[in-house]
Chains A and B, each alone.
Chain A
Amino acid sequence: MRGQTRFIASMLAFGYAFLYVPLVLVVVYSFNDSRIATVWGGFSTRWYGELLRNEQILDAAFLSLRIAVASATIATVLGTMSGLALARFRRFRGRTLFSGMITSPMVMPEVITGLSLLLFFVTLQQLVGWPSQRGFTTITIAHTTFSMAYVAVIVQSRLMSMDESLEEAAMDLGGHPLRIVFDITLPLIAPAMIAGWLLAFTLSLDDLVIASFVSGPGSNTLPMYIFSKVKLGVSPDINALATLIIVAVSIGVLIAWIATRRVRS
């Protein structure tokens, strides 16, 4: 028993070190004064200053945020509808195709999703003249399509774990079906919708490959900008950017963790 426990403990230690040492080092090196990012040249915050003066990064970050908010919001609406349909309407025509289409974008390799959407947009442009240029709209549509799947799955599993008696009681009391959805079902699945929105938001902020396919000239998202830069090697201002993201995410997750612990206790 002792040997087994020690093995598990050392695997855990190794695993977590593997997950976190690279992130810690990026944070440390972001305060490195040296231009050669891997040689220590003293403590400095100059890369943060350069980051904030870099208009290309700021523009790209703003575009990414706009796309993430828009696509996460549409994905939450569509995903919630899909989750409702799959969990509450037992039978409707084309259900198998529908549930297949909902989950497929989650497992589709990004290169395939990106390629197919770009070819689709190009064909559409030739047929009906829309979209006249690729950028914000096309990336938002692409991100909505793959992230609504995640919202749908979260909402669906929440609905499945919830018993229908509340909704049925309201129905028996003569409530209008639409009113029941807004007064009872939606408030109950609100946590799942928020979780889905947050997931869709981060998936959109994170995506490089699909956005590279469906964006047009002049519309660079933040990951596209970062990728074009790190292709050439390690770069100190990207370290600073990564640090800001790591810190922001950690604070957000920590707050969420404390909040859910409060609710539980």
Chain B
Amino acid sequence: MWKKVVTATPYLWLLLFFLAPFAIVLKISLADPEFGLPPYSQTASLENFAFLFSDKLYAVTYLRSVFMAVCATVLCLALGFPMAYGIARSNRETRNLLLLLVILPFWISFLLRVYAWMGLMNNYGTINTLLMWLGVTDQPIQLMYTDFAVFVGLVYSYLPFMILPLYATLERMDLDLVEAALDLGASRSRAFWDVTWPLARPGVIAGCLLVFIPAIGEYVIPYLLGGPESLLIGRVLFDEFFVNRDWPLASAVAIVLLLLLVVPIVLLQRYQARDQESTV
């Protein structure tokens, strides 16, 4: 009896507040916009989806979002892998401190961390002031409101998501295997690509997915740091809903974004389930 209560309570909560809302999004994505309350019709058609696929703007925005997310993921990996490697190979005391310093920014408001870069990348911000003082340039370089700024924001915000799973696999790795490869005459780079990298792959995959999935629908970072031309899908959805008040189209945008993410999300869940089993 009590077992049923323990299972059913969260179950019902999720059915009501997680699954039912998606059913409603799906239903509204098939409706037509209308004046009135609610601002959509009771009809059902695939018109919104047809419109999304026929209008170039949306296709370009989706592709741009994927491209930006892929670039941010690669940059996070390039910076995160050596960091995770260094943390995993340091001695116990420093390792705990270094890990703590990776996790600490998590607890500080995401919005305020993005905001911190606004002061740095401003035309009269810290970076430009420093560059002009050093004589590298005599007038401010436009950093804010560019794609560069969006990349900096994405890498900055999501770097810990990359480092933590990488650290977890690298820390578990048996160092003797690398030693053995070296003793047998492999070069350092050969030992890395043939031994370390394959062993680290579960962490690389998890880290990449954990960065890619949230980055693709990101709203705050492109809004605050990106230029008006850096239209990403999260922003389009937001504007379609709040500015144009086209609820059906916004729902259709959400459904397509979700379809785009089904494969990475399922991959991540599969990986996490396997990881949990292997640690037991």
Q: Which of B15, B101, B115 contacts A19 (CB under 8 A)? A: B101
Residues of B within 8 A of A257 (CB): 96, 100
- Segment 163-217 of B: residues with Cβ below 8 Å from A: 188, 213-214, 216-217
A70 on interface, CB distance cutoff 8 Å: no
Residues of B within 8 A of A9 (CB): 86
Counting chain B residues whose Cβ lies within 8 A of the other chain, the interface size class is 35 or more
B72 on interface, CB distance cutoff 8 Å: no
Decide: A120 and B118 in contact? CB cutoff 8 A: no
* Complex: A2 Cα to B268 Cα, angstroms: 36
Q: A109-B234, A120-B20 are in contact. Are A81 and B213 (CB under 8 A)?
A: no
Total number of A residues with any Cβ neighbor in B under 8 Å: 90
A58 on interface, CB distance cutoff 8 Å: no
Nearest-CB residue, chain A, relative to B20: A120
Kindly supply a per-residue 1/0 record for chain A positions 67-104, scoring 1 wherever the CB is within 8 Å of any chain B CB and 0 otherwise: 00000000000110110110001001010001111111
Taking Cβ atoms with an 8 Å cutoff, the residues of A that contact B are: 4, 7-9, 11-12, 14-16, 18-23, 25-26, 29, 36-39, 78-79, 81-82, 84-85, 89, 92, 94, 98-105, 107-112, 115-117, 119-120, 122-123, 126, 141-142, 144-145, 148, 152, 156-157, 160-161, 177-178, 181, 202, 205-206, 208-209, 223, 226-227, 230-231, 233-234, 238-239, 241-242, 245-246, 249-250, 252-253, 257, 261
Taking Cβ atoms with an 8 Å cutoff, the residues of B that contact A are: 2-3, 6-7, 9-11, 13-15, 17-22, 24-25, 28, 38, 79-80, 82-83, 85-87, 89, 96, 98, 100-113, 115-120, 122, 124-126, 129, 156, 159, 188, 213-214, 216-220, 223-224, 234, 237-238, 241, 247, 250-251, 254, 257-258, 261, 265, 268-269, 272-273, 276, 279-280
Given contacts A85-B7, A107-B268, 20 further A-B contacts (CB under 8 A): A4-B188, A8-B89, A12-B98, A16-B101, A38-B125, A89-B6, A98-B14, A109-B261, A115-B250, A116-B21, A123-B38, A126-B38, A205-B109, A208-B111, A227-B111, A242-B109, A242-B116, A246-B108, A252-B107, A253-B103
